[in-house]
Amino acid sequence: MRVSRNFLVLSVLLISLALVGSASANSVTLKYLGGTGSGIGGGAVYPYNFSINGSSTMTPLICDSYDNTISKNETWTATATPFLQGISTSMFGSSAILDYKAAGLIFKSVLNGALSATNGQWAIWGLFSTTAQSQSQFTTTGAAAIEAQYLALAANAPNSAFNGLILYTPVQGTQSVGGMPQEFIGFNPVPEPGSLMLLGTGLVGLAGALRRKFAK
């Protein structure tokens, strides 16, 4: 009986650690496969298509860093982190937390069809770049008004509004082409990092309780 009890406690603990670990940052290799033209000049907009860790499945991401550049087939290492958690180590840092939150909400509106990819992309770029704000596309897409709307929404948005968003922050010096790559935002609806963290933490507590009970 002692062996089976110890096995149960160990199993619960291992599952708990796996779930908690899956909610933290991961190091991934990104390969840029190409983007979609905006139709109004000025390069690509969402979706930027990537192979992640050599996968043959393309993953679409949206860019938040207008002032950096990437080339087709370029590769680099990035940290892939649940969105809110990743802001502290992001390209623009915690001082831009409201801008990041607005960008996340804009991206979700692009995904659900409430905003066009081009308009949403320029609004996100403008949140972080005065250079983007000076481009004619920023004006023609109405990006300034979109930014104002979503900054107001972001100020009161619950953390759950950002579930599923992933922040891909480049690691300096890992790029195959010169120059710091761009930062991207992606969406992965399952599993929810916050839910996994909560479940994993709860299971850690359960494992401790079981261990104490069996020790009596």
pLDDT digits (tens, 9 = 90+) for 67-83: 999 999 999 999 999 99
120 lies in some domain: yes
4 lies in some domain: no
21 lies in some domain: no
179 lies in some domain: yes
Tally of domains within the chain: 1
Q: How many residues in total does the chain contain?
A: 216
pLDDT for 22 equals 45
Residues 114-148 have pLDDT tens digits of 999 999 999 999 999 999 999 999 999 999 999 99
Distance CA(98)–CA(23), nearest Å, equals: 22
For the chain, what is the largest distance between any 2 Cα atoms, rounded to a whole number of angstroms? Answer: 73
112 lies in some domain: yes
CB 166 within 8 Å of CB 83: yes
Domain limits for position 164: 29-190
pLDDT for 10 equals 44
23 lies in some domain: no
- The CA angle 72-187-78, to the nearest 5 degrees, is 50
DSSP class of residue 91 equals S
Average pLDDT score over the chain: 84
Each residue's pLDDT, cut to its tens digit, for the chain (216 residues) gives: 444 555 544 444 444 444 444 456 799 999 999 987 654 545 678 999 999 999 999 999 999 999 999 999 999 999 999 999 999 999 999 999 999 999 999 999 999 999 999 999 999 999 999 999 999 999 999 999 999 999 999 999 999 999 999 999 999 999 998 889 999 999 998 554 444 455 455 555 655 555 565 555
Q: Which of 210, 191, 190, 192 is nearest to 202 (CA)?
A: 210
- How distant is the alpha carbon of residue 87 from its chain centre? 9
Q: Which of 151, 152, 183 is nearest to 83 (CA)?
A: 183
Distance CA(103)–CA(129), nearest Å, equals: 13
